[in-house]
Copies of this chain bind each other. A is one copy, B any other.
């Protein structure tokens, strides 16, 4: 990334003093993927060469027979921009509904509101580890129809944000069939696909589930999948690099989304280069790849440890239950708050979970997000926290949490 920012360095006689030969070679290859150079606008969809690398990545990840069409892959300034482009294309007015999980990541509710559509909520089943409840989805569509809203699309987040689950393949199969029979566009937010902390439920993409189900689903379900350089083991949020792949989406729709993307000229080129590095890492067998794999493995092993520390910590608290953080970066425990705490919150003019989270940050400095920021079943209270503090800090976080919670319960029980 340093070398592509100043390509003149590649010709510097002493470039080898700071950069190894494989890095110099890769920088040259990356520059060749950006025909206008890093100082120019790229194609509004992003560099074709990098979109081809994304296509190869998807083919390899999902064991596809054919590479996805690179012209149906758009590079974006982070996945959020891609999600918004697609919602913008899907929503005409408030009669157009988008099925969104509850709890959800607020990008969806905010964007649907901005584009003038209607959010159609469906509940994740906390008792089943936050799986999707397909029966509930049918009810959600019916409820939407009763208020004049026609559900056109369904968002799901796998692994989950804020809920941290990995959706089992069987659950995804049900979802694909549901989408097929109800003519619903699937929006697969799969940005945490690399963040997996157990071996029972590995990440499976919606793309692969469709392929494995075969016809009529494989070519009968409209799917848009989102990915990013901001998560996983790369975590380069500041570079703002994302992509979305449109599968079984009509060419006319793709053309319209391209036209709208062109208003902003092009996604930032640095984020595109970062995407290239993510989807096309150094070749297997090279020392660079071995180093990368070792680094990834260490990061994931540590995150797995922290996922256990965090959820075990929550489950050690009186009246708190927490599904294991199977993936993504979050724990989302349920707080069974005493009636006295709920009354105190009401008196303070706060939602009970907001009241709890404010007390927590005031007493300990631990900043969390109340469940009401994501939506939750009526009458239940949650909070979201990340598992990102270092292992050393995590022990302290859990201890402070335990101490605070004991005092809170003593005060309000």
Q: Which A residues lie at the B interface, using CB under 8 A?
A: 1-3, 5-6, 9, 12, 14-15, 17-18, 34, 36-42, 77-78, 80-81, 84, 88, 106-107, 110-111, 114, 116, 230, 235-240, 260, 263-271
Complex Cα–Cα for A5 and B264 (A) = 25
Closest CB of chain B to A9's CB: distance in Å? 6
Q: When the two chains form their complex, are residues B238 and A269 in contact, meaning their CB atoms are under 8 A apart? A: yes
Q: Assess whether B268 is in contact with A77, with CB atoms less than 8 Å apart.
A: yes
Our pick among B14, B78, B238, B267 for the contact of A38 (Cβ within 8 Å) is B238
Contact of A39 with B235 in the complex, beta carbons under 8 Å: yes
Contact B84 A264 (CB under 8 A): yes
The answer to whether A9 and B2 touch (CB under 8 A), given A114-B260, A237-B41, is yes
Chain B residues contacting A266 (CB-CB under 8 Å) are 237-238, 240
Inside 8 A of A81's CB, which chain B residues have their CB? 264
Chain B residues within an 8 Å CB radius of A17: 14, 17-18
Q: In the complex, A116→B1 CA distance in Å?
A: 40
A36-B238 in contact (CB<8A):
yes
Q: How far is the CB of A233 from chain B (nearest CB, A)?
A: 12
Q: Is the CB of A80 within 8 A of B265?
A: yes
Contact call B5/A263, Cβ cutoff below 8 A: no
Measured in the bound complex, the distance between the Cα atoms of B77 and A2 in whole Å is 20
Docked pose: A114 CA to B3 CA in angstroms: 39
| Shortest beta-carbon contacts, A-B, top 5 | A238-B269, A240-B268, A2-B2, A1-B5, A14-B17
A255 CB to closest chain B CB (Å) equals: 15
Q: Which of B14, B39, B111 contacts A239 (CB 8 A)?
A: B39
Ordered by A's residue number, 28 sampled pairs between the chains whose C-beta atoms are within 8 Å are A1-B5, A2-B5, A2-B9, A9-B18, A12-B18, A36-B238, A38-B238, A38-B239, A39-B235, A39-B239, A40-B237, A41-B237, A41-B238, A77-B77, A78-B264, A80-B263, A81-B264, A84-B263, A110-B263, A114-B260, A114-B263, A116-B116, A239-B268, A239-B270, A240-B266, A240-B268, A268-B270, A268-B271
Which residue of chain B lies nearest to A264 when distances are taken between CB atoms in the complex? B80
Other A-B contacts than A240-B268, A240-B269, A268-B270, 13 sampled, CB-CB below 8 A, are A38-B239, A39-B237, A39-B238, A40-B237, A77-B240, A77-B264, A81-B264, A88-B114, A239-B268, A240-B266, A240-B267, A268-B268, A270-B270
CB-CB nearest in chain B for A229: B39
Contacts of A236 in B (CB 8 A): 39
By a CB distance below 8 angstroms, the chain B residues around A111 are: 263
Question: Which residue of chain B has its CB nearest to the CB of A110?
Answer: B263
Closest Cβ of chain B to A164, distance in Å, is 19
Which of chain B's residues has its CB closest to A3's CB?
A: B2
With a cutoff of 8 Å between Cβ atoms, the chain B residues found around residue A110 in the complex are 260, 263
- Asked whether, in the complex, the Cβ of B1 is within 8 Å of the Cβ of A6, the reply is yes
- Nearest chain B CB to A95's CB is how many angstroms away? 15
Q: Are B238 and A42 in contact (CB under 8 A)?
A: yes
**Distance from A240 Cβ to chain B, minimum over Cβ atoms (Å):** 4
Q: Which residue of B lies closest to A272 (CB)?
A: B238
In the docked arrangement, what's the CA distance between A329 and B358, Å?
54
B residues in contact with A80, CB < 8 Å: 263-265
Q: Kindly list chain B residues whose C-beta atoms are within 8 Å of the C-beta of A40.
A: 237-238
Q: Which residues of B contact A271 (CB under 8 A)?
A: 268
Partner of A265, one of B15, B78, B235: B78
Residues of B within 8 A of A6 (CB): 1-2
A15 to B12, CA, bound (A): 13
Q: Which of A6, A9, A42 has the most CB of B within 10 A?
A: A6
Nearest to A1 among chain B residues (CB) is B5
For the complex, give the distance between the alpha carbons of A3 and B5 in Å: 9
Q: Give Cα A12–Cα B19 distance, bound, in whole angstroms.
A: 11
A107 to B265, CA, bound (A): 9
